[in-house]
Amino acid sequence: MISRKLEKARSAYAGRNAEASKLAHQEGGEPHRSGGGQYIKSFVYGGLDGTITTFAVVAGVAGASLSSNVILILGFANLIADGIAMAFGDFLSTRAEQQYHASERRREEWELESYPEGEKQELVEIYQEKGLSEEDATTLVEILEKHPKVMVDTMMVLELGIFEEHESPLKNGLVTFTAFVLFGFVPLLIFVLMHFTGWEFEGMPWACLLTGLTLFGLGVAKSRFAAGAWWRAGAEMLLLGGLAAVAAFFVGKALESLA
């Protein structure tokens, strides 16, 4: 249990409301959640990558004045191929990071077991560097010494800067792929409707509108775990996607004669 309502505490901080912060702490604790929360970042960033890269493909094809059928072919090819590549990249990077963390933890455990005095002195010095007196630092380390796992956890953070997260590399990869394909489909949606319904109208403005709303929404979602105002995060993602699309459009326009 933690002794405050996390979401209310965040809201209080965002508004710099000390009274609301006090109430968030007084309302009682809530359990640590280790369910799907750690995969939100993979979902949001996978969605952003999927939306931006697919929309860039759509804009490039539109710039070359090619048909909507070509947009669908290249768009879906990019969606699946890049989605798989992103998923494998997330899977491999998460697994490599966890293997490195496990290796460093084993080393710290061995050092604590083999030469505890050296590890204790090292931790005392770290606390002193952070402004504690030698007496207070020594007292803290003597308490931690009674709990070897907690002491190793502390060394991992303070000495190595490693914050261990118990994520599943496979789930990370699947979440990234799902988000990439799901949100990357948005720029193609209007062209799919045109293809299957036979409607004839200019699809690019609608694709721009839907993609812009998606990018802004994902940017707002990103603000949950990145510093900054929600509207600024949304605007940044909208601007980034727009710049990528404009660049792709003019590249397509410049190479139109090759089509």
189 belongs to a structural domain: yes
Identify the pLDDT of residue 9: 65
pLDDT digits (tens, 9 = 90+) for 144-198: 989 999 999 998 998 888 887 778 899 999 999 999 999 999 999 999 999 899 8
Q: How many domains does the chain have?
A: 2
Choice among 32-41, 117-126, 223-232 with the minimum mean pLDDT: 32-41
Identify the pLDDT of residue 161: 85
3 state SS of 2 = strand
Q: What is the mean pLDDT of the chain?
A: 86
**Shortest CA distance to 246 belongs to which of 65, 55, 78?**
55
Same domain, 86 and 170: yes
Range 213-242 average pLDDT: 85
Residue 2 β-bridge partners: 30
Same domain, 6 and 79: no
121 belongs to a structural domain: no
Same domain, 94 and 5: no
178 belongs to a structural domain: yes
19, pLDDT greater than 50 = yes
Same domain, 93 and 68: yes
| Model confidence band, residue 259 (pLDDT cutoffs 50, 70, 90) | low
228, pLDDT greater than 80 = no
129 belongs to a structural domain: no
229 belongs to a structural domain: yes
Choice among 55-59, 66-70, 253-257 with the minimum mean pLDDT: 253-257
Distance between CA atoms of 250 and 239, rounded to whole angstroms?
A: 17
**Domain enclosing residue 14, as ranges:** 1-31
Identify the pLDDT of residue 35: 45
Same domain, 53 and 87: yes
* 215 or 166, higher pLDDT: 215
Contacts of 88 (CB under 8 A, 6+ apart): 173
3 state SS of 30 = strand
210 belongs to a structural domain: yes
